[in-house]
Amino acid sequence: MTLHTSIKRNAYYDSVTLMLLSRELQKLEGVEDVLVGMGTDLNLDLAKDLGLASGEFDTLTPNDLFIAAKIDEAQISMKQVEDAFIEQLNKSAESDGDEDYQPPSLRSAVQALPGANMVLVSVPGQFAAAEVEEALDAGLHVMLFSDNVSVEDELRLKQKAVEKGLLMMGPDCGTAIINGKPLCFANAVRRGRIGVVGASGTGTQEVTVQVHKLGEGLSQVIGTGGRDLKEQIGGLMMIQGFESLIADPETDLIVLISKPPAPLVAEKIYQIAKTSPKPVVIDFIGGDRAAIEAVGAIPCISLEDAAQKAVKALHGEAFDDFTGFSLPEDYINCIVDTSVAKLKSDQTELRALFTGGTLADEAMKVLGVHHEIYSNIPLSPEMAIENLPGGRGHICLDLGEDQFTRGRPHPMIDPQTRTEFFESHVDEKTAVILVDVVLGFGSYLDPAGAVADSVREIRQRLSKQGKDVVVIASVCGTDLDSQDLNKSIESLEAAGIIVLPSNAQAVRLTDRVLQRIKKGA
């Protein structure tokens, strides 16, 4: 194998395009390893770690494209790798089918689009703050998808946005629906009277999807970015969003979603909730229930519960915590019985492989009550995945975390990472596999199909040992999403996967099956 590098100066392409191209080139006969990227610090470090960096890398700037490949020259030449790259790039441009004029800067784009009111920024983090600042200075609202933006920049930009009455959603903000238009990763849901401000991406998606399934709709869905409710930022965007929804005549009820905020920030939000003339439902996943009730807001036990309470409160109906299942209890018991009956006595372990971060958080909170779960988002430091004894035990992973996404697309965009984890982490000791399937804009075109294919492969593999496995899933999506909720459920069920109507219920069923296994079937 020999290492070759090809550099194209002043040729900028976005990271997702290049990551997907890298994966296509990796499939070529004779290519052992390949990385295509822009010369950013992040990519240069990754190339070094992969042993793909050469002396020429010292001359790269973030505006230069590189292809670094370890190839077997008996099978393929670097010229052929480059040609394949160009071919793939052209294919990707063709599928875009877009010949529109593309202005070279934000300023010229604003001139080209009179009445522009929102700037969506997903450029590499080190360049993002400057672009956001320019947008805010021009009086434009911003959704900042990029990560790797410093807390100092976030604070400064959000202060500027608040001063000007503008949105600055992010950094690392993946979901918003403004005026009925989904931005970045969001589901197609009907418009309605429930407004949401969310600091947790897939948590917000799950709530909006559940509201839609219950027949209601969303007025505005405002993202804040995950750090907004930390003490350094002080909840600037959640407060800004919350107050704007209170003032919005199209919004009759407000849902707030976040991981537990810093106590001082939570207090500020509770004070606004206390005086809100509109009902407020708060899901601070694992947050302080008594404090929420004390200000007259509605606390929740899950994302699904938040949606149910929001819809019931909107209709003036009474509500309780939703701790059960949509299906009758005896039906659930039957599912547990038949599931456990097909396992052998040495099959005891859980493999929960999530693509949505908040959905994984929700699973950890519930499963951690009865089971010891090793994770990359552990409930306590000793349960970190690195401490898994001899590779044996229950595992729950958030595959969208940075450690799994270096140099490759987020698993909601490209199922490859989870496909590989199905191969490497599911074995003859696995009893239950738990997954999320997230549909919507930004997501892979057929995430359910990818999971179904992996499960078929796993079943074939285990059948050689006379074994089977229980697979439980939920689909975060709607009938209006391009991937289609019903088609996705059919595709999962055809592979023998048990599909529950929410993440909370899928997690609860998993808990029941694991408890039954622990007791002994």
Contact positions toward other proteins, by CB under 8 A?
10, 12, 14-17, 39-40, 61-63, 96, 98, 100, 102-106, 108-110, 112-113, 115-124, 127, 130-131, 135, 137, 139-141, 145-146, 165-167, 178-179, 181-184, 219-220, 240-241, 244, 247-248, 250, 441-442
Task: Compare residues 141 and 512 and give the one whose CB is closer to other proteins.
Answer: 141
DSSP 327: S
Task: Compare residues 73 and 96 and give the one whose CB is closer to other proteins.
Answer: 96
Give me 76's structure tokens.
Answer: 């393929």
Task: Compare residues 240 and 430 and give the one whose CB is closer to other proteins.
Answer: 240
Task: Compare residues 51 and 103 and give the one whose CB is closer to other proteins.
Answer: 103
How near is the Cβ of 110 to other proteins at its closest, in Å? 6
How near is the Cβ of 223 to other proteins at its closest, in Å? 14
Alpha helices in 200-280 (DSSP H): 201-213, 236-247, 263-275
Residue 44 contacts residue 57 (beta carbons within 8 Å): yes
How near is the Cβ of 106 to other proteins at its closest, in Å? 6
Cα–Cα distance, 49 to 272 (Å, whole number): 48
Cα–Cα distance, 382 to 389 (Å, whole number): 11
Task: Compare residues 115 and 277 and give the one whose CB is closer to other proteins.
Answer: 115
Which strands form 31-38's sheet, in the order they lie side by side?
2-8, 65-71, 31-38
Three-state SS for 498-513 is EEECCHHHHHHHHHHH
Give me 45's structure tokens.
Answer: 């470090």
How near is the Cβ of 179 to other proteins at its closest, in Å? 5
How near is the Cβ of 41 to other proteins at its closest, in Å? 9
Task: Compare residues 299 and 440 and give the one whose CB is closer to other proteins.
Answer: 440
Task: Compare residues 184 and 285 and give the one whose CB is closer to other proteins.
Answer: 184
Give me 38's structure tokens.
Answer: 């822009």
The one-letter amino acid at 205: Q
How near is the Cβ of 341 to other proteins at its closest, in Å? 44
Cα–Cα distance, 184 to 440 (Å, whole number): 9
Partners of 254 in the β-ladder: 195, 280
172: left (phi over 0), alpha (psi -120 to 50) or beta: left
Task: Compare residues 124 and 192 and give the one whose CB is closer to other proteins.
Answer: 124
449-453: long-range pairs with CB below 8 Å, 24+: 449/491, 450/415, 450/418, 450/419, 451/415, 451/418, 451/492, 451/495, 451/497, 452/491, 452/492, 452/494, 452/495, 452/497, 453/419, 453/495
How near is the Cβ of 203 to other proteins at its closest, in Å? 21
How near is the Cβ of 118 to other proteins at its closest, in Å? 5
